[in-house]
Structure 1
Amino acid sequence: MESLGDLLKSWPTGQKITDQAEQKLAELMADPLVARLLDKHPELDEQAVRLNLNRVYQYVTEYRNCTNCPGLEKCPNDFEGHYTLLSCETVNDQPQIYDRKVSCKKFIARRNEDQIKSRIRSFYVDETALQNGYSADEILFKDPKRTEAAYQILDYIVRTKEAGLQQEGLYLAGTFGTGKTFLMCYLLHELAKAGFSGAIVYMPEFVEDLKSMMHEPGKLRETVEMMKETDLLIFDDIGAENLNPWVRDHVLGSILNYRMNRKPTLYTSNYGLDALEQHFSFTSKDGDERHKGQRLMDRIRPYVQVVMVTGDNKRGRK
């Protein structure tokens, strides 16, 4: 934005510049915004405005810019998403005008949204599900068949906001495309707004990536520690991964063992709990190991509320 000083520099010198400066002062004094400023601070007079011409000019110009806001990305003000606000104090019987920069509503909204997003980590999950806005009406009524499950999600969110992290997580079970991941992303987004951190992990791709991390112990340790410590951990589509004993016993087992009685772990799956136990009991390397599957389930089953998500398959629909 061009300041009044820059504007004056572009004018001719001599008497003409004085005349144009007086004209600009007259325009400012006639501006309704300046009139409101003078009404609010009757101690101000034309001389005070004259001595602070640049401040008052910027105040008026930025207010007009905000009134006709072209959007945060095209903000014409000196500092994106901020406008000048004037205040007045009397010092030694002389009125003094002070200016300060104030964040606009759009800037505050974007900053708040950035803070929300910074609390959520996503591993192999389509981030558009986390970036899109949500509404309770959409959650409840987009598919009447899943309304009961949606109410249980909303109840969990309310309980967590009111009482803090729950010891019990959620286990969303249901057929393909009923919106289990969508509901979990909504839960993460709402609780991130309340200050909780979270991570959502798409299990099939995560397990494949873990195998390559065997050769990167630093990265593996950092990932596992983050999943242990985050407030809310969601394993998305658990049961669809191709497990090996190391992932099951040393990675998943370690994460779940740490989180028991500390922080809730949540899941989405096409399997019920009994079917998931059978899945964990068999690996391509060691075959049937029922006791190891049961041991892992002992870290899941007692710590979740099962929510059945019914409805139509929405994948591929426009």
Structure 2
Amino acid sequence: MESLGELLSQMNNSQLRRRSDELKARMMNEPLVRDLCIRHPELGEEQLNRGMAKLYQYVNDSRHCANCPGLDRCPNDFPGHYTKLTVENAGNVVQLVDCQVPCSKQVRYEQELMVKKRIQSFYVDERALSEGYKEVEILTRDSVRAPAVGQVFRYINATKEAGLQTRGLYLEGHFGTGKTFLMCYLLHELAKEGYSGVIVYMPEFVEDLKSMLQDSQKLKETTEIMKQADLLIFDDIGAENLNPWVRDHVMGSILNYRMNRKPTFYTSNYSLSALEKHLSFTSKDGEEINKGQRLMDRIAPFVDVVTVSGSNKRGRA
């Protein structure tokens, strides 16, 4: 439908009066307008005539919304919004007041946008963070991993009820069992509650840190982001090629700051004991048991271990 202004601007005076009368009659016969008049008998003919353009927009938007083609193709003048009419009495003068209200699809879009702004990823596939998560599907996708899923769900609910925890989770298991997926779901759910989150893919992060040796400002900004985030996930820890500087000065600094303050989460193919052995060995200095233990003292006491069993789902639709 054309706007009311466009229709009337194309006509001469006689056509304008005739078309105006036709539009008025049609508007008064619209179910939405009849319902408005029933709910507000104080609306007289004069008020309705003065508010005809608003009534037209109200009906037009409602018709578009009833046959919504999707948010990206919204035909309303203000995409993602519809006209809402109220009747107000100001100084004993009754008048129609219109305002633009976001539709349910626009509200969901804005909520998702806010969720995405609260989550930052380093080297993690963005698709994992933009899934259309469904709890039933997560629970039933692989019955073998159901106990692990239950633990993650309980952690999310506990945080929603009691606030940010100081302990995180350590998800251990074979390749492709959905550990990263579950952590992304946790981030998504808690971001909806207002918490900020960071997820870091360890192998690429450690490689990128080498270039930051020449950019101290970027290094400081990156580590500060990880220190301050409400939720921090080190994804695939144990798969990186460690060097002493990364282990002792970067990882150690981040974890030292977060322990007893904010929860840190991990996904790994290693158990905690196997991870300690991994952290004790670097390509430069070989095995340094004390250094590995020192870092593990900032990991193991602050996590609950979740064993994620199941089949390898990578590459499957």
Q: Same fold (TM over 0.5)?
A: yes
- What value does the CA root-mean-square deviation take over the aligned residues? 1.2
Aligned to 1:95: 94
Pair 1:295 & 2:282 matched? no
Shift of 1:166: 1.4
**Paired residues for 1:195-234 under 5 Å:** 195-234=194-233
Superposition deviation, residue 4 in structure 1: 1.1
Query: How much does 1:93 deviate?
Result: 4.0
* CA positional deviation for 1:46: 2.5
- The Cα shift of 1:14 comes to 2.3
Shift of 1:91: 3.8
Shift of 1:141: 1.5
Distance 1:232 1:93, change over 3 A: closer
Point out where structure 2 has 5 or more consecutive residues left out of the alignment: none
> Amino acid of the residue matched to residue 286 of structure 1?
D
Residue identity in the other structure for 1:238: I
| Higher mean C-alpha deviation, range 122-131 or range 223-232 | 122-131
Structure-2 residue corresponding to 1:141: 140
Cα distance between partner residues in 1 of 2:112 and 2:257: 30
Aligned length: 317
Residue aligning to 1:161 = 160
Q: Name the residue aligned to 1:178.
A: 177
Task: Tell me how far apart the structure 2 counterparts of residues 203 and 270 of structure 1 sit (CA, whole Å).
Answer: 13
- Distance (whole Å) between structure 2 residues aligned to residue 51 and residue 138 of structure 1: 53
Distance in 2 separating the partners of 1:170 and 1:215: 33
Post-superposition CA distance 1:64-122 (Å, at most 9, x none): 11111111111111111111111112345432111111111110011111111111111
Q: Structure 2 counterpart of 1:39, which letter?
A: I
**Does the Cα contact within 8 Å between 1:29 and 1:46 map onto a contact in 2?**
no
**SS state at 1:128 partner:** helix
Question: Which residue does the alignment assign to 2:283?
Answer: 284
Instruction: Give me the whole-angstrom Cα distance separating, in 2, the residues matched to 1:92 and 1:181.
Output: 61
Conservation of the 8 A alpha-carbon contact between 1:171 and 1:267: yes
Determine helix, strand or coil for the equivalent of 2:309.
coil
Tell me how far 1:174 sits from its aligned partner.
0.7
The match for 1:67 is: 66
Q: Take 1:42 and 1:237, find their aligned partners in 2: how far apart are those partners?
A: 66
TM-score (norm 1): 0.97
Give the Cα–Cα distance (whole angstroms) in 1 for the partners of residues 130 and 149 of structure 2: 20
For 1:94 and 1:172, the matched residues in 2 are separated by 65
Q: Distance in 1 between matches of 2:184 and 2:190?
A: 10
Deviation at 1:58, TM superposition (A): 0.7
TM-score (norm 2): 0.97
Q: Matches of 2:231 and 2:13 in 1, distance apart?
A: 69
Structure 2 partner of 1:3: 3
- The alignment partner of 1:166 has SS state of coil
Counterpart code for 1:10: Q
Instruction: Give the AA of the match of 2:21.
Output: E
CA distance in 1, matches of 2:205, 2:116: 21
Counterpart of 1:262 in structure 2 is 261
